Structure 1
């Protein structure tokens, strides 16, 4: 049976024991092994929360600022889009790292269904 998926940010992600696995190009894969960051999120769960600057000039959303920068000679409009955000870790056990996770081996579910 394939792993369960969850829909986040308009995309599907596989889960491990109900926890979504969100890929990132910020962690290296060397010799088929990598690290996995584990984050507990939410203020009510004493996890990791996002912080945004309110009242930005040209604010379009939480921490999102759009500023018109001009029109080129070819009539192309330009905008500067900036996202101002940070995060706060509310307790020291809200973040963990799994090291030496083997990602080179996986089960091919096609074989299971073809029998």
Structure 2
């Protein structure tokens, strides 16, 4: 679905300094042209994207736009993820891994239980 892909692209760009269009195309299993259209739609929505062509190029979000990732405390994130794990165990679709990826950063780590460690 397009809206989920757009949100996914924005989330990836918020987490990484730079990503290439071919990487995004492979990740979302769409063509590079579709990613280019998505990037255009994100720009039209008012999110400032920077694209650099050539070797070591890629797509990134302006540093002035990036969101502070400390919206939740570690205890709050642990509670949310524990609840999501319970829902995932009875849900036909597995959403926990996607949500963990969206919330992740390299700064923190959450241990949900003995079998799961989430780097945040």
Q: TM-score, normalised by structure 2?
A: 0.27
Larger Rg: 1
Higher RCO, Cα 8 Å, sep 6+: 1
Q: Name the one with the larger strand percent.
A: 1
